[in-house]
Amino acid sequence: MFIDMRNISKSYDKVEVIKDLNLKIEDKEFTTLLGPSGCGKTTILRMIAGLETPTAGEIYFDDKCVFSDKEGINVPPEKRNIGFVFQDFALWPHLTVFENVAFGLRARRDTKNIEERVIHALKAVRLGEYRDRYPSQLSGGQQQRVGFARAIVTRPDCILFDEPLSALDAILRDEMRVEIKRLTAELGVTAVFVTHDQMEAMSMSDRIVVLNKGAIEQQGKPEEIYQRPRTPFTAKFIGKSNWLDQNAMFRPETASLEKKDGYKVYRTVVDGVQFLGENYQLYLDAGGKQWIMESPCRYDIGSDVSVYINEDQIVTF
């Protein structure tokens, strides 16, 4: 299923948070909405789900209109047939794991083979044995997996993820990233994933939509966004960037601390050093600008360092 948002605007108390947004989410792709907090990404997701009502515009699921302010169409969330994974899991504390997952089927009176289907969904997230537990008896990661099972059990055309990993610790987060990617690929559904974590976005997405202040800054494959950012905002928000001036930057790994032919040399002074385990991160003073470079060895603060930059890799705006 593809999702098409046309000329969508949304205001809260006259403050416009989304302004004339046009966004198409492709069928069976994993699309990530990435941006700083307050950029409107969660609002967009909730408008797709029907949990928020746009002030203006239209939303199509394939060819079916689910929202249109002109036509007065607003399909309620329970009729949109989507899965939604919540940031705070939103598991019902008074229901068992089984009943949490079965809820969507029961609500739709679709109770044929319910046992089998719920167990199937629970097995898909490897929680088959936890069916009779209550949410409070599960760890954070397990709770998130129940939330995921609940979202897939009704075989939705599309699953929406609202920062689902931000409540988990770093190790679980890595694990769940792989798992979510695996499951959505297996199910062959359209997935829309909201996050402010660029690593999450890069590692999981087929396509990233970078948002800033309610508008799209850039969209494309993760590699495209990283290597060829189109605006200074994207360059700064995603990855590390060293700036030559206001409109030119390079990624640290494209430069070198060793002399290379054809590279342009810049003199810098070491401002600070951080040991990161696999290497050292240097904070360099490049004529008033702060650059970051990685280095295999420690430098003394105040020492001079030459940075060699491949001019082909400089991105200008």
Partner 1 sequence: MNRTTDKKQTIVYFTIFVILFALVILPIIAVFSEAVIVDGRFDFSNALQTIIDKENLTTITNSLLLGVLVVIVSTIISTPLALLLARTRYARWKWLDVVLMIPFMTPPYISSMGWILFMQKRGLFQQLFPWTGSISESFFSLGGLVLVMSFHVSPFMTTMLKNAILNIGMNLEESAAVSGAGFLYRLRRVMLPLLTGNYAIAMLLVFVKTLSEYGTPSTLGNRIGFYVFTTDIHRYASTAPIDFGKASSLSGVLVVICMIMWLAQSYTTSKHTYNLVGGKGKKESLYNCRRATELIGGIYIFLIIAVTIGVPYFSVIATSLIKLRGYGLAAGNFTFQHYVELFTNNSKGWEALVTSTFLAVVSATIASIMGTLIVVLIKKAGNWKKVIEGEALLPEMLPNIVLVIGMMLFWNKIYKLLPLYNTLGFLVLVYVVMFLPYSIQYVSSAIMQTGDSLMEAGKVCGGNRSYVFLHVTLPLIMRGVMQGWMMIFIIVFRELVAASLISPPNVQTVSTFIVREFEQGSASVAMAMALICVVITTTLLIILNNVIGKKKY
| Candidate list 35, 40, 104, 222; residue touching partner 1; CB under 8 A | 104
- Residue of the chain from 20, 24, 107, 115 that contacts partner 1 (CB under 8 A): 107
193 binds partner 1 (CB under 8 A): no
Is 205 exposed, middle or buried (CB count within 10 Å of its CB: 0-12, 13-18, 19+)? buried
Site string for partner 1, 54-83 (x = CB under 8 A): ---------------x--xxx-xxxxxxxx
Residue tagged 């990661």 (tokens): 141
Q: Which is nearer to partner 1, 138 or 249 (CB)?
A: 138
Q: Taking the complex as a whole, how short is the minimal distance between the CB of residue 58 and partner 1, in angstroms? A: 13
Other CB atoms within 10 A of residue 97 CB = 27
Smallest separation, CB 251 to partner 1 (Å)? 36
Specify whether the CB–CB gap between 195 and 206 falls below 8 A.
no
94 lies in the site for partner 1, by CB under 8 A: yes
Q: How far is residue 2's CA from residue 128's CA, in Å, rounded to a whole number?
A: 32
270, 303 in Cβ contact below 8 A?
yes
**131 binding partner 1? (CB under 8 A):** no
CB atoms within 10 A of CB 310: 14
Number of residues in contact with partner 1 under rule CB under 8 A: 34
Per-position b or e across 280-292, b if 16+ CB within 10 A of its CB = bebebbbeeeebe
Options 14, 63, 93, 276; binder of partner 1; rule CB under 8 A: 93
Residue 50 touches partner 1, criterion: CB under 8 A: yes
Instruction: Count Cβ atoms below 10 Å from residue 317 Cβ, excluding itself.
Output: 13
Smallest distance, partner 1 to C-beta of residue 189, A: 14
Output the smallest distance, CB 150 to partner 1, in A. Answer: 7
Is residue 87 near partner 1 by the rule CB under 8 A?
Answer: yes
Of 30, 84, 161, 291, which one interacts with partner 1 (CB under 8 A)?
84
Q: Residue written as tokens 């810098």?
A: 268
Strand runs labelled E in 236-288 = 242-245, 248-250, 255-256, 264-275, 280-286
Q: How far is the CB of 196 from partner 1 (least distance, A)?
A: 18
**Nearer to partner 1 among residue 1 and residue 269 (C-beta):** 1
| Contact status: 136 vs partner 1 (CB under 8 A) | yes
Distance of CA 300 to the CA centre of its chain: 38
Build a one-symbol-per-residue string for 213-232: x at contacts with partner 1 by CB under 8 A, - elsewhere.
--------------------
Helices (H), the chain: 41-49, 97-107, 114-124, 140-152, 170-187, 198-204, 222-227, 232-237
- What does the binding site for partner 1 look like in residue numbers (CB under 8 A)? 49-51, 53, 69, 72-74, 76-84, 86-88, 90-94, 103-104, 107-108, 134-136, 150, 154
